[in-house]
Amino acid sequence: MRKTILIIGVCGILAHKYFMLLAAFLIFTASPAFAENGVGVSGAVEWDRMEISAAFSLELAPSGIRLPSGRIRGEALIGDGYLRLIRPGILGLLADSSSTVADLISRGEWSLAEAENLALAARSVPPALTPDLRYLSASYTLGLDRLSAALIRHTRPSETIRTLSPSAAPAYTGIIIIASEELPVHGRRATEKTVPCLFPKIWDTDMNLIFERGMLEPAAAIMARYLPARDIFAGSPSGLSARAASLVGDRPLRIFARGVFGINPTDPVIDSEDALLIISREENRRLLREGRVLIVLDDSVLKQPLDTE
């Protein structure tokens, strides 16, 4: 009786091990086919345009697709590949100086389902065949304004900082912070280029917080826009390009950043006297609430390769 039980037990263990090995083999052999469907991607995060742009292509012959019957399958593969390959690009975006979008999701401030729904709402150019009929290609454009708006959870903005000793300040039509050069990093013996994020804070040189996400009117959606220096040294009477003027008007307050702050160097530090010009007058504080802020950055940080891993 004991021998029978022992034999049955050994057989059960062997069967279990065989099953696990078989399952592992199937997963191993199936995974590459699932993960690599032949779809390639090239793209960038373009902060001066506030969008993610991506082009997807599928080489037909290696994917076993024959025209014309296989075109529908090819379009389906591109659609599946789009969501899989665009997801890391969205999750890797800097939300603020210390957090990526993935960090916000891990803290429960957003969800992966919401991120994927946003990705599916991107503008797209339908798949088309290349002239040599070797590839099927499609392009997608995802506006960062929609992502920013989705991450704003408050319904009313908090009060901007005020001063007991206001200075005489004119009413401006917008705020330009020039941070295109390497700047001292607050709290560190280093200089770095300021980099873009969705929600950059603004500090003064006394480290008073002048502007943060909670101060933005939800309808504004975007805290600040980013442009290169050439857009504020144009040939127009105001010195602004058309797109810069559309953001900050023709009488903006121009400020040179004195430093940068954050785990990632996203937050400009401005002189306390310049900060007073903003907070001393309600019309200028309103510019912050409305997101009428333009941050001028170096060209090298305004266009970043799309992360697909």
At 65, is the pLDDT very low, low, confident or very high (cuts 50, 70, 90)? confident
When comparing pLDDT for 165 and 189, which is higher? Answer: 189
Q: For the residues of 160-225, what is the DSSP string, one character each?
A: PP--SSPPP-PPPS-EEEE--S-EEBTTSS-EE-----SS--EEETT--EEE-GGGS-GGG--S-E
- How many whole angstroms separate alpha carbon 150 and alpha carbon 112? 12
**Prediction pTM value:** 0.83
Mean pLDDT of all residues in 92-118: 95
Report the distance separating Cα 270 and Cα 260, nearest Å: 9
CA–CA separation, 18 vs 231, rounded Å? 67
Res. 37 pLDDT band, cuts 50 70 90:
low
Local structure of 26: helix, strand or coil: helix
Alpha-carbon span 232 to 249, nearest angstrom: 12
Token pair recorded at residue 151:
């991450």
Ramachandran assignment for 180, one of left (phi > 0), alpha (psi -120 to 50 degrees), beta (any other) = alpha
pLDDT (0 to 100) of residue 134: 78
Q: Which of 36-50, 68-82, 191-205, 226-240 holds the top average pLDDT?
A: 191-205
Taking the C-alpha atoms of residue 131 and residue 136, their distance in angstroms, rounded to an integer, is 10
Confidence band (pLDDT; 50, 70, 90) for 59? Answer: confident
Nearest to 116 by CA among 90, 81, 154, 148: 90
Which residue would you say has higher pLDDT here, 142 or 306?
142
Higher pLDDT, 182 or 138: 182
Task: Give the burial string for 213-240 (b: 16+ CB within 10 Å, else e).
Answer: bebbeeebbbbbbbbbeebbeeeeeeeb
Model confidence pLDDT, tens digit, residues 211-223 = 999 999 999 999 9
Give the three-state DSSP class for 245: helix
Please give the single-letter amino acid code of residue 145: D
Q: Nearest-CA neighbor of 225 among 249, 208, 261?
A: 249
The tokens for 223 are: 């805290």
Q: Over 60: is that where the pLDDT of 9 sits?
A: no
Integer Cα distance of 91 and 35 in angstroms: 19
Find where tokens 């399952």 sit.
Answer: 23
- Which DSSP letter does residue 303 get? E
Cis omega (within 30 of 0) for bond into 68: yes
